[in-house]
């Protein structure tokens, strides 16, 4: 109770601090009040005196209650098509878990390339990366599908938390987690806040960061990292067990137990192909992303793959709907106030005389390592993406290049800590990996990720003519 009180002090203290600051010329009291509530919402999402969704709910209530915005405007975020797209994508995640399609894909990869511990890590990371194309919950993917398979394989080789952790479990779980960070960065649907980042990019810089453009931008540096990261951990943090022919045997046995693909599995796979295909070809047919997602869920309803009870019982989806819709509206409204423009003008004056390349490099590094202070990619991106993007563009950087770097780094920075994103506490809580090892090797992985995007990524985008 004491700790919860201190967290509320931090939230309310943020409101008081912002309101006590001198209001810039041209900024209305309502706009300044919105900034205070928004800042308190971000602090609340980090400190969590109550659940993150509840914090956003309270923030929306405060905005309407204190006449910062009319109730209709305060609630407008819940009508945003992007919010409904994310909600539907979570329902598709439910279909993947319910039908068992995710487990089947994992065992198919393990059977194919799981004869060594390194191959085993690639198999499970490949499963996660494939599922990220349409499952926006990295918690559902890495926690609900991959984690149980990985721990059972570690235990099959008598690797348990404690003295035998390094036999297989520590390497395997850490490689999978770092792979999940990469998978989250590669797809527009990699994790829930990527759509929010795309929204910020459009409202701030008029960059339409579509599903197709996101994967096109990440495919080359992302695939390089998917090869390099597990290999680096295999060299620096090696398992004692190098060969795992038993894993392929287990996979064959599990696949035999599963039998041929069931009708719900086949339907789920077809819906995935339909939805992903329509998302990638939006420029041809012009069907809104959210409408495509609604179409996919409608097919799952009509074929009885999902029931209405499945939808109403999907608590994580509705939790995301509440905080996501609230944050979308708050962030969008804050951008309309002119406060971010004032911030940019002030920050840009501090980089006068710098080349845009130097300003971009320094600010991206600050943005990346600021994630040590965040337990959520969403909180990090919501607090820092827009102001950093505005400042970098003001320094003269090409807008699309700035969006690309900040968007991908928003995800990749989750490699650093054992609380960086949703699956991190799950994997750290398995007690296979010590905090020291997590932070040390997480830092090394961060340098590799930044290095790859700062060289191969820039070269790839230059080849595409994006800067």
Residue 341: the pLDDT is 65
Query: Which residues are CB-contacts of 35 (< 8 A; sequence separation ≥ 6)?
Result: 18, 334, 337, 339
Tokens 């969403």: give the residue. 378
Tokens coding 260? 């041929």
Tokens coding 196? 């929010």
CA angle (453 as vertex; 451, 457 as ends), nearest 5: 135
Please tell me the distance from the alpha carbon of residue 7 to that of residue 10, in angstroms, as a whole number.
5
State the CB neighbour count (10 A cutoff) for residue 275: 24
| Domain chopping of the chain, boundaries | 1-74, 81-316
Please tell me the distance from the alpha carbon of residue 239 to that of residue 243, in angstroms, as a whole number.
10
Whole-structure pTM value: 0.78
Please tell me the distance from the alpha carbon of residue 376 to that of residue 369, in angstroms, as a whole number.
13
Cβ contact 453:174 at 8 Å: no
Residue 236: the pLDDT is 96
Residue 129: the pLDDT is 95
- Report which of 312, 278, 264, 282 is spatially closest to residue 134, judged by C-alpha positions: 278
State the CB neighbour count (10 A cutoff) for residue 272: 20
- Report which of 129, 184, 230 is spatially closest to residue 377, judged by C-alpha positions: 184
Q: Which residues pair with 243 in a beta bridge?
A: 116
Residue 187: the pLDDT is 95
State the CB neighbour count (10 A cutoff) for residue 131: 28
Q: What is the DSSP string of 167-235?
A: GTHHHHHHHHHHHHHHHHHHSTTSSTHHHHHHHHHHHHH-----HHHHHHHHHHHHHHHHHHHHHHHHH
Buried b (16+ CB within 10 A) or exposed e, 184-206: bbbbbbbbbbbbbbbbbbbbbbe
- How far apart, in Å, are the Cα atoms of 82 and each of 262, 275, 296? 32, 15, 15
Cβ contact 185:435 at 8 Å: no
Residue 1: the pLDDT is 58
Residue 345: the pLDDT is 64
Please tell me the distance from the alpha carbon of residue 107 to that of residue 109, in angstroms, as a whole number.
5
Residue 373: the pLDDT is 72
How do the pLDDT tens digits run along the chain, 467 residues long? 567 888 899 999 999 999 999 888 888 899 899 989 988 987 887 788 988 789 889 999 999 999 899 999 889 888 888 778 778 877 887 887 788 887 888 889 889 888 999 999 999 999 999 989 888 778 778 877 888 888 888 888 889 998 999 999 999 999 999 999 999 999 998 988 898 899 999 988 999 999 999 999 999 999 999 999 999 999 999 999 999 888 888 889 989 998 999 999 999 989 988 887 887 787 788 888 788 889 999 999 999 999 999 999 988 788 878 877 887 788 778 777 777 667 666 666 677 678 899 989 988 998 999 888 777 788 788 878 988 898 888 888 999 999 999 999 999 999 998 878 878 888 888 889 998 999 999 999 999 999 999 999 999 999 999 99
3-state helix, strand, coil in the chain (%, to 5): 80, 0, 20
Please tell me the distance from the alpha carbon of residue 344 to that of residue 386, in angstroms, as a whole number.
10
């Amino acid at each position: 109770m004491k700790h919860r009180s201190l967290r509320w002090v931090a939230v309310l203290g943020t409101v008081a601090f912002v309101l006590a600051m001198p209001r810039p010329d041209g900024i209305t009291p309502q706009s300044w009040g919105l900034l205070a509530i928004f800042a308190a919402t971000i602090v609340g999402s980090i400190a969590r005196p109550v659940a993150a969704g509840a914090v956003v709910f309270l923030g929306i209530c405060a905005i309407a209650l204190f006449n910062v915005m009319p109730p209709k405007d305060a609630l407008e975020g819940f009508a945003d098509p992007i919010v409904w797209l994310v909600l539907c994508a979570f329902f598709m995640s439910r279909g993947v878990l319910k039908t068992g399609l995710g487990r089947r894909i994992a065992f198919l990869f393990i059977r194919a390339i799981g004869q060594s511990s390194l191959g085993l890590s690639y198999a499970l990371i490949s499963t996660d990366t494939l599922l990220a194309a349409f499952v926006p919950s990295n918690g559902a993917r890495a926690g609900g599908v991959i984690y149980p398979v990985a721990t059972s394989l570690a235990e099959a080789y008598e690797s348990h938390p404690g003295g035998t952790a390094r036999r297989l479990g520590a390497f395997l779980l850490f490689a999978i987690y770092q792979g999940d960070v990469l998978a989250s960065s590669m797809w527009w649907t990699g994790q829930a806040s990527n759509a929010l980042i795309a929204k910020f990019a459009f409202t701030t810089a008029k960059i339409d960061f579509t599903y197709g453009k996101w994967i096109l931008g990440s495919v080359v540096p992302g695939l390089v990292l998917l090869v390099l990261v597990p290999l680096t951990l295999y060299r620096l943090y090696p398992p004692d067990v190098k060969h795992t022919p038993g894993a392929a045997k287990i996979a064959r046995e599990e696949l035999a137990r599963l039998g041929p693909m069931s009708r719900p599995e086949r339907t789920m796979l077809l819906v995935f192909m339909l939805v992903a295909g329509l998302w990638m070809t939006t420029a041809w047919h012009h069907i809104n992303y959210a409408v495509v997602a609604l179409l996919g869920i409608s097919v799952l309803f009509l074929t009885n793959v999902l029931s209405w009870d499945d939808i109403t019982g999907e608590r994580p989806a509705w939790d995301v709907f509440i905080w996501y819709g609230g944050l979308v509206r708050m962030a969008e409204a804050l951008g309309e106030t002119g406060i971010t423009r004032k911030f940019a003008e002030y920050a840009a004056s501090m980089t006068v005389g710098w080349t845009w390349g130097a300003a971009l490099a320094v600010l991206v590094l600050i943005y990346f390592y600021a994630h040590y202070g965040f337990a959520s990619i969403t909180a990090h991106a919501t607090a820092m993406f827009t102001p950093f993007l505005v400042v970098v563009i003001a320094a003269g950087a090409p807008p699309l290049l700035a969006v690309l770097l900040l968007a991908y780094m928003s995800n990749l920075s989750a490699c650093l800590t054992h609380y960086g994103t949703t699956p991190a506490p799950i994997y750290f809580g398995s007690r296979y990996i010590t905090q020291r090892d997590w932070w040390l090797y997480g830092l090394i992985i961060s340098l590799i990720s930044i290095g790859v995007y700062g060289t191969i990524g820039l070269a790839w985008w230059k080849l595409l003519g994006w800067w």
